[in-house]
Structure formats: structure tokens, C-alpha cells
């Protein structure tokens, strides 16, 4: 059963990027993101209630939760959804799900929470080189500057998410996972919603909230499969396997995202894209995998898993 849950998790989150790509071609990106997270947050609150994950949030923690939600959901996914208007879904999946562990570790090092060992340094340098190759490839081959802008937006959004994950790491460990995921999705979506209405209200008034079946299908996948199925599988694996083993999804889902984009979405990637993506995935392997006996590096794996569960679920 855990193996099936792992497959479901990788397929659900690996397919998320094509769903976003399809959705933002049909409806405004900020609206797609905000409505997705509001509904997903409400549904996850119901889940949290029934699985016994309901606890009162203290007043000091509430302020931290709002800041974390703004970074990890509102700003992060506002930029990612906007960027995917111009960037292929497979590339976006690699940049986000591959770069999350790299960025989390880098921020933890900058904040003095982790030490850089030889293996992790190799991973950081390899990951940065892979991302640089992906960006340089866009600059060389894409005449449309919006593609480069979209790539940069996705990277910046991911870095903001990483910062939010490190900032709220202690908060996530004090409350049940279902409750934190629900609140972060809901608060982040509610904060992004008025921004969408201001910036995209004209288009929404003209085209409607869900203009066609492709837009609704994309939105439904993100809510049901990306959030509900993905999160359920993730929390199940955390209970059965623990965060270290479960974190293996971080170097499987980018590969799934590329495969889904190419074989389902018909996307065309250059050989440089595959090389850059491979470097990022290899970097994740270097950073995420640990010798279980190395107690001084183990907390990062747990923190990475705790932080990643929110936005991916």
C-alpha cells in the first residue's frame, strides 16, 4: 500500500504542472491559483476536522502563519502560475520541485541552521549550474522575452517559498499537518484573491470565471488530484515511511513533470533542457539523501518534508 501511495503522490504532483499550464492558457493565472487554494483549503479543513487534526492556533503563531502563507502560497504561486503562461510545464516542474530542496538548504545555511558538508556543497553547486543552464538556454533560443520573464518569475517564486518554509519551520512542527496545510492553502488563497480581482477583474467579467471545459478541468485537477489526493498520499507516507524516505518524491516528481509535459502535453524540450533538468535532479539527490546515521544533517530532511507538504498538497 505505501508503494502505491508513493506512485499516486508522484503522479499527482508531477501532473500538476501540465494542469497549471493548460489552465493559465484559458483563464487568468492569479484567479486560477487563488480560487484553487481557497477551495482546497476549505476541503482540507474538513479533512483535518475528521482526522483529529483540529487545534487552536495561538495568537503569536497566527501572525507567523499569515506571513508564511503569503510567502509560500500567495506570492510564490502567484508568480509560478503567471510564469507558466510562457514556460513549458516540464521545465516549470523541474525548476519548482527540483529547486525547493536546494533553496531550503541554502536558506537554512544562510540563517545558520545547517552546516555545509562536502556532499551538500556538490549538490548546491550542481543545482545552481543546472538552473543557470536552463536560463541560458531560454536566453539563447527564445526570441520572446516573456519566456525568460516567466522562467525568472518561477525561480523567484520558488525562492520565496523556500524562505517561507524556513521561516515557518518551527510553526509547522507544533501543529498537525492536515490543519497547517488547510490553513496555509486557505489564507494564501484569500490573500491572493483580491489581487486577482483588481488585476484580472476585467477579463473575468468578459470571459467568465471558468470560460470553458479545459479551464474547469484544469482547476478541478488542481483541487482534487493535486491537493486532496496528493496531500492524502503524502501524509499517509509520512506516517508509514517517515520524512526521510518520503522525501524521495522530490527527485521523482520533476522527472514525471517532464515526461507528462512531453508525452501528454506534446511539449518540445531541447537537449540543453534535459541536461539542465538532469543536473537539478542529481543535485536534489545529493542534498535530500542522507546517511541515516548522520544525526547532524537529519533535521533538514524533516524540515524539507514538513515545508514541502503545504504547497504541493
265 or 19, greater pLDDT? 19
Place 205 in a pLDDT band, splitting at 50, 70 and 90. confident
Q: Which residue has the cell 500500500?
A: 1
pTM for the full predicted model? 0.84
Within a 13 Å sphere around the CA of 165, how many CA atoms are in the beta-carbon half? 29
Longest dimension (CA), the chain: 59
Residue 143 reports pLDDT greater than 90: no
Residue 41 reports pLDDT greater than 90: yes
| Cell output for 56 | 487552536
| The pLDDT of residue 244 | 63
Residue 91 reports pLDDT greater than 70: yes
| The pLDDT of residue 291 | 40
The number of angstroms, rounded, from the C-alpha of 169 to the middle of its chain's C-alpha atoms is 16
Amino acid at each position: 500500500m505505501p508503494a502505491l501511495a508513493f506512485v499516486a503522490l508522484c503522479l499527482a504532483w508531477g501532473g500538476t504542472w501540465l494542469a497549471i499550464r493548460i489552465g493559465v492558457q484559458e483563464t487568468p493565472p492569479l484567479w486560477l491559483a487563488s480560487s484553487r487554494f481557497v477551495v482546497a483549503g476549505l476541503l482540507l479543513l474538513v479533512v483535518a476536522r475528521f482526522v483529529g487534526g483540529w487545534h487552536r492556533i495561538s495568537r503569536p503563531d497566527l501572525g507567523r502563519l499569515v506571513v508564511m502563507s503569503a510567502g509560500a502560497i500567495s506570492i510564490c504561486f502567484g508568480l509560478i502560475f503567471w510564469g507558466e503562461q510562457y514556460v513549458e510545464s516540464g521545465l516549470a516542474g523541474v525548476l519548482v520541485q527540483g529547486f525547493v530542496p536546494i533553496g531550503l538548504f541554502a536558506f537554512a545555511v544562510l540563517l545558520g541552521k545547517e552546516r555545509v558538508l562536502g556532499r551538500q556543497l556538490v549538490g548546491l553547486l550542481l543545482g545552481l549550474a543546472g538552473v543557470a543552464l536552463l536560463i541560458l538556454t531560454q536566453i539563447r533560443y527564445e526570441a520572446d522575452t516573456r519566456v525568460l520573464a516567466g522562467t525568472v518569475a518561477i525561480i523567484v517564486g520558488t525562492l520565496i517559498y523556500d524562505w517561507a518554509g524556513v521561516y515557518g519551520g518551527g510553526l509547522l512542527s507544533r501543529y498537525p499537518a492536515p490543519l497547517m496545510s488547510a490553513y496555509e492553502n486557505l489564507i494564501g488563497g484569500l490573500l491572493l484573491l483580491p489581487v486577482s480581482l483588481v488585476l484580472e477583474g476585467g477579463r473575468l467579467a468578459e470571459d467568465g470565471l471558468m470560460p470553458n471545459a479545459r479551464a474547469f478541468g484544469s482547476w478541478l485537477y488542481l483541487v482534487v488530484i493535486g491537493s486532496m489526493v496528493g496531500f492524502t498520499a503524502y501524509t499517509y507516507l509520512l506516517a508509514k515511511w517517515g520524512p526521510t524516505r518520503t522525501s524521495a518524491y522530490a527527485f521523482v516528481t520533476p522527472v514525471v513533470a517532464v515526461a507528462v509535459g512531453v508525452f501528454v502535453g506534446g511539449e518540445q524540450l531541447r537537449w540543453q533542457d534535459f541536461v539542465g533538468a538532469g543536473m537539478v535532479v542529481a543535485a536534489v539527490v545529493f542534498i535530500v539523501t542522507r546517511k541515516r546515521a548522520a544525526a547532524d544533517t537529519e533535521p533538514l530532511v524533516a524540515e524539507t518534508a514538513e515545508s514541502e507538504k503545504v504547497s504541493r498538497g
